[in-house]
Amino acid sequence: MNEARGKRVAILVDEQYQDLEVWYPFYRLREAGVRVMLVGTSAAIDYRGRYGYPARVEKRVEEVQARLFDGILVPGGFAPDFMRRNPKSVEFVRAAHDAGKVIASICHGPWVLISAGIVRGRRMTCFSAIKDDVVNAGAAYTDEAVVIDGNIITSRKPDDLPEFCLRLIEALARPPDAQG
């Protein structure tokens, strides 16, 4: 039986998101029976990925509450630089983290986790270009495809998506008090 079935995950989206890091998890999670919602982090409803793939969000971050989701996914690309400028996006991630929800982030996505103030003392990975940012925010960086520390799951790049999605689905299937 798939214990992730029926869980709810918000995937944050903004301009120039990394196309594969939104759509690969989107369909993989849906395949596992997870209810997935694209949530925009700015005023727009329609966004274009870094490579031009369109995404229409169901809601904007101002219209959702972290308590309604079992997990949040922050993809990479250039979008996290826009996401972290919106205080509502940052608060959404912080509130989900504080409630023990699964926080999954790949590539440049950890920038949002840094802005949310949730990485200090954590073990994590990211795209190599933001390694210094992660370390300077107080996290212990490790160059692995997927790193899980408590309720935070991080990954480096699109090549890591198969394992990243598998670990995310496994985390969603665990009871909230069994994270990590």
The catalytic residue positions are 108
For 1, 35, 43, 87, 109, the CA distances from 123, given in Å and listed in that order, are 31, 28, 33, 25, 15
Residues 6+ apart with CB under 8 A from 180: 148, 149, 150, 151
Find the radius of gyration of the CA atoms of the chain: 14
Residue 56, classified by CB atoms within 10 Å of its CB into exposed (0-12), middle (13-18) or buried (19+), is exposed
Cα distance between residue 180 and residue 157, in whole Å: 21
The CA distance from 78 to 75, in Å, is: 9
109: its two tokens:
């996505």
